[in-house]
Structure 1
């Protein structure tokens, strides 16, 4: 039976569509166990953190990140010490708040730098934190320094750094991994958005230094999730690229396999670094 050119073209389209659907179904079945593995491992780690006996939750959070945070310029809220230091609380709580804000305003696929004036401002935030950190280091080493370091200034400069890290890391993840990255949309495109991010994070800082006791756990959790989250996202990026996921991701669920590996790497890195530091501290070497 003879087919017209239009019929042949339509049959070819249907065959290609069926093949693509079959590929999607096969990939779904192949990735499904990894989704369960990721959820199960993440749930087990969370349960272990909450249920591990013999120590308060905030001390367990402190211990987990002991190898990646100096924890020498600490802040108390409501009589409880935050799990990471003043500067890192600013950096990583700000990172988490800004990262979530960018998703909330629809920048989950954005893959373009902010406009030049905003990008320059973010670079200045990074330089301000570096300058304050260097001055603080000189003070800790009993060397001449420009001014007396203050915890509130450590947190303030860290907050600006956290905003910059959130913008940069989201852009790098999208450019590197997303198949449907939006290269026309800046991750942060207006001064209003930058002001919104800063306002949210300054509210966190105000609660922190206003010693508002019921805000202890939200601040502690955001800072702790921020510092562990950055390490996880870096491991995720490296794992996904090593597995050939570059420019292939359309849905976050597709990252289950590299995400599971990244979770394991993050756990090993945090555990190893904390163990080494506790070992040296226990022998008076730090």
Structure 2
């Protein structure tokens, strides 16, 4: 069922009601991702009646410390999107220089387009209305392997990362933490019935897209299966299961 304007107004938070341009923009971006999914990332709505909160599953890129990891996140959009940026919060524990302890992602592309010389960011590195969900997701994946340590959100993680990088991997503290988190995320993937790509060949294969829908009649019940990759053995595809939230670029620099 398509997320209507009225239902979006009821489920979105904020002082002002969602604009019609925001609803249309998000509808089109969701439809685009359904028809042409990004490799290594899957996305869908948290609630089929609310276009302004999305779930993301991010697979750790091969040949990186995060390889075979399964990281879940929420992306929340403001009512005046795309004129203001969304926010991204990891639900999975991620030890990373550009991720706060509470999971909030700090990256330039998600910072409002204001002139702030003290931030060390150029205006062109910040959010602008030409950015979209695809550029955000690609920036997040890139950031996993190429963190920005100039103004980190997690200072301890930044120090450990630099020690690991400067020692050519001889200092194992950072690496060991990431490996433990990747292993824990694999357990979560098994609970969610998700098959995590572990090789480059599996990673670059995009999920099978569903048939395209009319622009103004997106059927959320036909959202593409999370676990189906266009691989030879299609029997490996498992049924869709909802993510369970726990408590516990690069288009721009990851700066706080």
TM-score by length of 1: 0.28
Which of the two has greater strand per residue? 2
Higher helix share: 1
